[in-house]
Amino acid sequence: MTVPVDGDRPGRRLARIGLIVVANLALLLVGLVILELGFGSWFSDDHLDALNILRGREILFEASKLYPGGGKVHYVRDRYGLRGGVDDPRRVDLLTLGGSTTDQRYLPLEATFQAVLERAAAADGRPLVVTNAGMDGHSTIGHLAALELWLPRIPGLAPRAVLALIGINDINADSRVRSAFDRSLEGSAWRDRVRLHSGLWRLGRNLHGLWQARLGGMDLGHGQPMEAAVAWVELADAEGADAFAARHRAHLEAYRERVGRLVDGVRAMGAEAILVTQKTADFRLGDGRLLGRRLADGRLTAGNQAWIRAIAAATMAVCHEKGAICVDMALELDLHDGDYYDLLHTTPAGSRKIGEYLYARIKDRIFP
């Protein structure tokens, strides 16, 4: 029989393992604290980092693989976080809010729909200074935070109107999706402080949002490949818009509430609210018909058309209730295959159509 020496007794081995675990946990904790202090904003009253606002940044993007004629795009956000080359915020007449489809970071500034709209106004003898406050990934949740924490901090910013291109990013922005993360940090002062200042919380929120978007079938990245349509064919709406809206009533009611607050927030700035709906490239609407894509293998698809149509209808309903300027672009503007470089984002040709369309739709409402 072998008698273990003191150093080999099982109890001491467990103790050593425990010490190693504790030491590693302590090192991990120290590392997290260092990261939090480095990337958080605990010693600042500036809340803009919590909104993922790029300020004073110049980035060179490569768009050559996204659309014909694409190349290097010099993307600039000024010291206030705006895109548009306006040196003085007091000159801004029209401010645009939205997500990546408003931001258009892979398009040169002069090819964005904002620049097209501005040129159309100038050609019409109605000069209009348009600036872009669209932020990649922002839903109406982000727009509401921008109206509260970002835009009021820009000196002299008092636009005549705010145009909000909204809807797509809200497909997964309802309380059910947020409850596991965002809502867990609501309800107390210290939790609000964490949300505003924690760099680790922001990282977790962004990763969570991207994961939920993928789970919902909406990959919001740029340049995601989309199978080409062999033909566009009329599809039957199996469930029907009313039945779909009833089944997702809670989600849509939460969205409607946010849109109403968005209009109120814009008016609190002293501006007129313009709400614009949008759609994706995988379906079309026209003459009361739903058109989907027939793919090379014979499959028919219309993507997330039911969600997008329901969100657009909710947007327009709130818009009319609030007496805002309502532009149902999802229904009225027919963009074609060459107008998108992926499921969501427009080429210069698509943005040109959007800019010209928007000017025609709003010019008589925003000019005296």
More confident residue, 8 or 264: 264
Residue 17 counted as domain residue: no
Residue type at 241 in one-letter notation: A
CATH number of the domain that residue 238 is part of: 3.40.50.1110
Let me know if residue 177 belongs to a domain: no
Distance CA 252, CA 230 (A): 34
Please give, one letter per residue, the 3-state secondary structure of 43-107: CCCCCHHHHCCCCCEEEEEECCCCCCCCCEEEEEECCCCCECCCCCHHHCCEEEEECHHHHCCCC
Model pLDDT for residues 172-227, shown as the tens digit of each residue: 655 444 433 344 434 445 555 565 566 666 666 555 545 544 444 444 456 666 66
258-316 pLDDT, tens digit per residue, is 999 999 999 999 999 999 999 999 888 877 788 888 888 888 878 788 899 999 999 99
Strand partners, 165: 98, 276
For residue 361, what pLDDT is reported?
97
Q: State the residue range of the domain holding 236.
A: 43-168+222-366
Residue 165 DSSP label: E
pTM: 0.79
151, pLDDT greater than 90: yes
In a domain, 3, yes or no: no
Task: Return the number of other C-beta atoms located less than 10 Å from residue 172's C-beta.
Answer: 22
pLDDT for 333 beyond 90? yes
**196's tokens:** 């505003």
Q: What is the pLDDT of residue 238?
A: 65
Task: Compute the distance between CA of residue 162 and CA of residue 262 in angstroms, rounded to an integer.
Answer: 10
**For residue 77, which amino acid is it?**
R
Residue 8 has pLDDT above 90, yes or no: no
In a domain, 212, yes or no: no
Across the range 38-50, mean pLDDT stands at 60
> In which band, very low, low, confident or very high, does the pLDDT at 89 lie, cut at 50, 70 and 90?
very high
- Is 111 part of any domain? yes
- Mean pLDDT in the chain? 83
Eight-state DSSP code of residue 207: H
The total of structural domains in the chain comes to 1
pLDDT surpassing 50 at residue 319: yes
Residues 229 and 75: their CA atoms lie apart, in Å, by: 32
pLDDT of residue 205: 58
- The answer to the question of residue 6 being in a domain is no
Q: Give the mean pLDDT of 7-25.
A: 78
pLDDT tens-digit map of 96-150:
999 999 999 999 999 999 999 999 999 999 999 999 999 988 899 989 989 998 9
| Residue 32 burial (CB count, 10 A) | 11
pLDDT at 217: 43
Examine residue 70 and state whether it is found in any structural domain, yes or no.
Answer: yes
Is residue 235 very low, low, confident or very high in pLDDT (cuts 50, 70, 90)? confident
Q: Which residues pair with 284 in a beta bridge?
A: 291
Identify the band that residue 25 occupies on the pLDDT scale cut at 50, 70 and 90: confident
In the prediction, which pLDDT does 295 show?
84
Query: C-alpha angle with apex 31: 29 to 32, nearest 5 degrees?
Result: 65
